[in-house]
Amino acid sequence: MDIQNLKREFLEYIEITKGRSIKTVENYDHYLSRFLEFSKASAVADVSEEKLREFRLWLNRQPGTNGNMMKRKTQNYYLIALRAFLKFLAKRGIKALPPEHIELAKVPERSLDLITANELERLMKAPVGNGLKELRDRAIMEMFFSTGLRVSELCALDTDLDLSRDELSVRGKGDKVRVVFLSPTAKTSVSAYLKARKDMAEALFVRHSTGKKIPSRLTPRSIENIIKNCAIKAGITKKVTPHVIRHSFATDLLENGADLRSVQALLGHANIATTQIYTHVTDKHLLDVHKAFHGKKRVK
């Protein structure tokens, strides 16, 4: 069997057996195709250490955004796909380059885009009025801050939300279901928005300027624009996205004493290492420790 057929079987395997999303399968197809095109590999034996080294060098010299070279994180996406493919071959008993020979590039520690508590409050109050759009935008932001949802998860919500309960189940990355919680403010905002709606749309958050009897569901890009416009109204000069509110959700919990494992579960992170980007919040007490105990014996 040639390598193209094996690639097809691998993509079917991660979609059906591993339950990966169609978008993930498309991305893996893209990354693997780029490697196979570059290496001119037609058989598994053609995937060698030398070809891998040449491909990594080529990736490192490819242009990225803003005229810079491709980011290390993006380069790693190609290597992760190739490593997963090689693991699949090993599982099938096909002799190939060992997947552990692929070492990912070291990437800089991720930085967080954060807004202050004051800026967050101004953002939440930016939609002024009781029109449908204002009620919707207020409900969107209260839902983000109450639940820590990803923008795609928020877009997928429907009007059959049970507001008599304080929790709801959402299907997130990797098709995994988790429970998130609704604050009284979020429930009040969503309830006010739904009462004002006269349409029969299934989606919880919809467009209201199309003139259609059944308005269309908001897309992630639409919600990003809503948050951006609210930030401008609130006089916030930083870039504010749905993910920034997700960060605020996580840091708020940690600052008020929540443990990292609980925050991991609420965010839907598969790995605790992803949640550890927020440890700067839990380390704030170290400044107090330093001030209280450092240099006490030095002669003034």
Residue 28 is a catalytic residue: no
Q: 126: helix, coil or strand?
A: coil
Q: 246 catalytic, yes or no?
A: yes
Residues 6+ apart with CB under 8 A from 200: 213, 214
Give the burial class of 288: count Cβ atoms within 10 A of its Cβ; 0-12 exposed, 13-18 middle, 19 or more buried: exposed
Verify whether residue 18 is a known catalytic residue: no
Q: Give whole-number Cα distances, 194 to 108, 132, 190, 197, 243, in Å.
A: 44, 9, 6, 5, 24
- Of the candidates 20, 83, 246, 247, the residue annotated as catalytic is 246
Placement of tokens 């009007």 in the chain: 159
Catalytic residue, chosen from 87, 173, 178, 197, is 173
**Catalytic-role residue among 34, 56, 217, 243:** 243
Q: Is 269 a catalytic residue?
A: yes
Catalytic residue flag (residue 280):
no
Amino acid identity, position 54: E
Catalytic entry in 7, 20, 136, 150? 150
Structure tokens at 91: 């599982």
Is 34 among the residues known to form the active site?
no
CA angle 45, 85, 3 (to 5 degrees): 45
Which of the residues are catalytic? 150, 173, 243, 246, 269, 278
